[in-house]
Amino acid sequence: MPFLSATKHQLVQIAKAGCVVAALGFAFAGNAHAQRTIAEQFIQDMKDGKVSEAGAEDHVVQELIIKRSIPITYQYINNLMSTPNAFGPGVACTVCHNSQDASKSYRGLDLSTCKGMIEGATEKPKRTVFKPGVEPKRDILIRRLRNNRMPLGLGFENSTFTPNHMLVKQWIADGAKNDDNFTKNVLPLFKTANAFGPETPACTACHMSNQEPPSFHELNLKTYEGIMLGADSVAKGVDKATKVIVPGKPELSFVWQHLAEDRMPPGISPSEARDHPNTTILAAWIKQGAKCD
């Protein structure tokens, strides 16, 4: 999508075009209007050097939409749900999630209507997939668009109910203790290739220390202390490290979520950007209150 990966140069072009429009506006309205238009404010920010350098995939979305609080309409969200390739290559969400009838629609999740999106999965366990008005990064809907299943590259066709998966889930459910069961049965799984699916590296091939690179998210799955410390302890500081285990609560533990949840749409390559511009827009709609009109 060339527009969405605009460079700073292209943003300057957009701003210049805005100048022309703004100049025409002045010609008609004189200097009567006191409040700045969004285009005028953008031009001012360009002049003040407040527009960030290009880099991230969703640079334009951040600069022109999110930072300026443009209201996202449900109509656009509805389009996203029913359009192929909206979040990266793959069929549209509504092919598989099109009604609350769980005999025809996965998880009885209806992404084809606003009400259906807000009500969430109607099959057991019944649950909402986001909370209107709340940052949704860690909620089910955005998680499913951003988080790759681990070990990285493992496809949806591989079971998430193997005995090894159940060992990890049960260990967390039982309080995630540093006991004999952990040392003998659980920890070795993270260090062994093919433990959670065929032809996959050990978790510790990618998460082996608190240094990134080489360890993704500065996550060390080699020791009990490393696992309980969590991710990004150097970048964020030890106290603010992202906890990946919530003792007693597998469903809330990122280790379990990453073992059990496939990224949507199923089959998408793990190398596809996790921060697709449309995922950012979907999250913004939710934060703005998930309004249906």
Alpha helices in the chain (DSSP H): 8-29, 38-47, 59-60, 74-81, 93-96, 114-119, 140-146, 163-173, 180-181, 187-190, 224-229, 233-236, 254-260, 277-287
At 287, give phi and psi (nearest 5°).
-60, -35
Q: Which CB sits closer to ligand HEC, 97 or 169?
A: 97
Q: Which amino acid, one-letter code, is at 146?
A: R
CB of 58 to ligand HEC, least distance (A): 16
Site residues (CB under 6 A) for ligand HEC, limited to 221-240: 221, 231-232
Of 46, 93, 187, 208, which lies in the binding site for ligand HEC, with binding defined by CB under 6 A? 93
Of 15, 61, 97, 215, which lies in the binding site for ligand HEC, with binding defined by CB under 6 A? 97
Q: Select from 143, 92, 135 the least CA-distant residue to 284.
A: 135
Residue 201 binds ligand HEC (CB under 6 A): yes
Site residues (CB under 6 A) for ligand HEC, limited to 153-192: 156
Residue 18 binds ligand HEC (CB under 6 A): no
Region from 25-33, 37-45, 136-144, 169-177 binding ligand HEC, contact rule CB under 6 A: 136-144
DSSP 150: T
Residue 266 binds ligand HEC (CB under 6 A): yes
In order, the DSSP letters of 41-103 are: HHHHHHHTT-SPPS-STTHHIIIIIITTTPPPPHHHHHHHHTSTTBTBSS--HHHHS-SS-TT
- Report CA-CA distances (Å) from 191 to 33, 167, 203, 204: 65, 14, 6, 5
Q: How many residues bind ligand HEC (CB under 6 A)?
A: 46
CB of 60 to ligand HEC, least distance (A): 21
Question: Which residues contribute to the site for ligand HEC (CB under 6 A)?
Answer: 87, 91, 93, 95-97, 106-107, 109, 121, 127, 129, 140-141, 144-145, 147-148, 150-152, 156, 196, 201, 203, 205-207, 216-217, 219, 221, 231-232, 242, 244, 254-255, 258-259, 262, 264-266, 270, 274
